[in-house]
Amino acid sequence: MKDNDPAIVAIERAMVAIRRSQTRRALSRFAARGGGPAVDPTIFGVLDAVEARDGEATVTDIATALGVDQPRASRLVARAVSEGMLERRADQHDARRIHLHLTPAAQTALNRAHANRQAVFAEATAAWGERDRTEFARLLTRFVADFGAVSDR
Task: Place 153 in a pLDDT band, splitting at 50, 70 and 90.
Answer: confident
pLDDT value, residue 116: 85
Res 1: pLDDT? 57
Total domain count, the chain? 1
Cα 9–145–121 angle (5° rounding)?
75
Domain contains 12: yes
Give the domain extent around 38. Answer: 6-151
Is 137 part of a structural domain of the chain?
yes
pLDDT for the residue numbered 137 = 96
- Comparing CA positions, the residue from 84, 89, 96 lying closest to residue 47 is 84
Dihedral sign, Cα of residue 74, residue 106, residue 38, residue 28? positive
| Average per-residue pLDDT for the chain | 88
CATH number of the domain to which 80 belongs: 1.10.10.10
What share of the chain in percent tops pLDDT 70?
Answer: 88
Q: What is the pLDDT of residue 37?
A: 62
Predicted local distance difference test score (pLDDT) of residue 50: 96
| CA gap 32, 142 in Å, rounded | 31
- Tell how far CA 25 is from the center of its chain: 16
In a domain, 1, yes or no: no
Q: Do the domain assignments include residue 119?
A: yes
Q: How much of the chain exceeds pLDDT 90, in percent?
A: 58
CB 28 within 8 A of CB 112: no
Give me the residues paired with residue 57 across strands. Answer: 100
Look at 89 and 28; give whichever has higher pLDDT.
89
| Mean of pLDDT values over 136-153 | 91
